[in-house]
Amino acid sequence: MQDNKGKIFILYRNKKIVFEEKEIKVKDIIKRLNLSTDYAFAVKNGEILDANEIVKAGDEIKIINAISGGIR
Amino acid sequence: MRKCIKCGKQTQIYLPQHRLALCKEDYKTWFESRTERTIEQFKMFDRTEKILVAVSGGKDSLSLWNVLVKLGYNADGLYINLGIHEYSKISQEKVQKFANSIKKQLHIVEIKSEFGKSIPEIAKDRRKPACSSCGAIKRYYMNLYAHKLGYNVIATGHNLDDEVSVLLLNTLSWNVDYLSRQYPVLPEENGFVRKVKPFCKASEKETAMYAVLSNIDYIEDECPYADGSTTINHKKILAQIEEFSPGTKLRFYLEFLSKMYPLITEKKKNEVVIKSCRLCGEPTQYEICSICRMKA
């Protein structure tokens, strides 16, 4: 069986990304994904997380990138 | 942890540009009230008018439709299927599901049957980026169908980031023609239905947060043709400024509307003559409109 306890699971645009850290701030996850806190944010169990919130190993969060482009 | 400014509950939702902390429920209420204040500020429409919301399946347009219905406006939806393979299929499904959930009428227009070609086919034939034809085609059919179906107003989900990125682009090239049309309300005149942007003061993140907190199932994937677009690049540059100076985007936009827009429109008054297209009868600056020229 796979040990998932020491990992942080991030769902971003239908892709699952695994971070090996024990803990990391939301804003650092956003930065690592090459995004900005100006247009991206994290959601955990339907709740929006503050950019300074610490995510811990075993947590599953979703990153929403609000930016969209093209002619609308 | 911060406390909600309205009810005192602990919250992680903080809007630096407004210096505002709000809980989930108060955020939704604040967002809806702010939209209503924007509608009133720019005299966009009232509750007696028939509004057609242009819905794409994305967070902005579905949130807009949701807010307007919750505020008691008479708003139906118009979905334009662009024929962009899986992207159009998924987005149409999401829009239909959403329309059923709010029990409002949804009108669907298929570009392939209206125009004879899908957006990917048009882009291939014209050898130009898809976005350049797509914008013109969407605006044309929105206007045509609003008239046909008897709606007074077309509401689109353009948000603050859309407006500011275009404003930056047009300012960098001092495109006075485009700047003179960049206002949240374009009046009903010369065959055009009134067009409004009730989210013009809401950032892209604010509309996405509203969609998530309201459990709106929107299409998260970006249009495949938007990847690397100029708009996205400008938005990323503006985000860098906003990060170290919160409120810059809103200030840039509102100051443009109050200080520059009146000067530009005064100068441009009477310069543009709108007539009817010789082939289809829709309003245009030319003898033959851009859509009929594309068809030829």
Q: Do A47 and B207 touch (CB under 8 A)?
A: no
Residue B169 CA to residue B181 CA, distance in Å, equals 14
Give B52-79 pLDDT, tens digit per residue: 999 999 999 999 999 999 999 999 999 9
In a domain, A2, yes or no: no
Q: Which of B179, B191, B192, B164 is nearest to B267 (CA)?
A: B179
Residue B227 CA to residue B177 CA, distance in Å, equals 27
Q: What is the ipTM of this complex?
A: 0.91
Residues of A with CB under 8 A from a CB of B: 13-14, 36-41, 43, 46-50, 53, 64, 66-72
Average pLDDT, chain B: 93
In this prediction, residues A50-60 reach a mean pLDDT of: 94
In angstroms, the separation between the Cα of residue B204 and the nearest Cα of chain A is 6
The pLDDT, as a whole number, for residue A1 is 47
Facing B235 at nearest CB: one of A41, A49, A67: A67
Give A4-25 pLDDT, tens digit per residue: 668 999 999 889 999 998 999 9
Strand pairing of B14-15 and B50-55? unpaired
Question: What residues of chain A lie within 8 A of the CB of B134, using their CB?
Answer: 70-71
Closest residue in A to B22 (Cα) is: A48
In a domain, A61, yes or no: yes
If you count residue pairs, one on A and one on B, with CB atoms under 8 Å apart, how many are there?
95
Total number of domains in chain A: 1
Closest residue in A to B235 (Cα) is: A67
In a domain, A35, yes or no: yes
Instruction: State yes or no: pLDDT of B33 exceeds 60.
Output: yes
Helix boundaries (H) for B71-126: 85-102, 111-115, 119-126
**Low-confidence winner among A45-54, B79-88, B116-125 (lowest mean pLDDT):** B116-125
Query: pTM higher than 0.80 for the full model?
Result: yes
Give B148-197 pLDDT, tens digit per residue: 999 999 999 999 999 999 999 999 999 998 999 999 999 998 899 999 99
Give B79-116 pLDDT, tens digit per residue: 999 999 999 999 999 999 999 999 999 999 999 999 99
Written as six digits, the tokens of B25 are: 């429920």
- HSE, side-chain direction, 13 A CA sphere, residue B9: 11
In a domain, A1, yes or no: no
CATH fold of B42-295 reads Rossmann fold (3.40.50)
Q: Which of A38, A56, A52 is nearest to A64 (CA)?
A: A38
- Which helix (H) or strand (E) segment holds residue B145: the answer is helix B130-149
Written as six digits, the tokens of B207 are: 């509309």
Facing B208 at nearest CB: one of A14, A49, A66: A66
Q: Please state the domain extents for chain B.
A: 42-295
Rg (CA), chain A: 13
Closest residue in A to B61 (Cα) is: A72
Closest residue in B to A62 (Cα) is: B212
How many CB atoms are located within 10 Å of the residue A21 CB? 14
Q: What are phi and psi of A54, to 5 degrees?
A: -95, 130
Q: What is the CATH number of the domain that holds A51?
A: 3.10.20.30
Owning domain of residue A41: 8-65
Residue B205 CA to residue B4 CA, distance in Å, equals 19
Q: Do B24 and A71 touch (CB under 8 A)?
A: no
Facing B222 at nearest CB: one of A37, A49, A69: A69
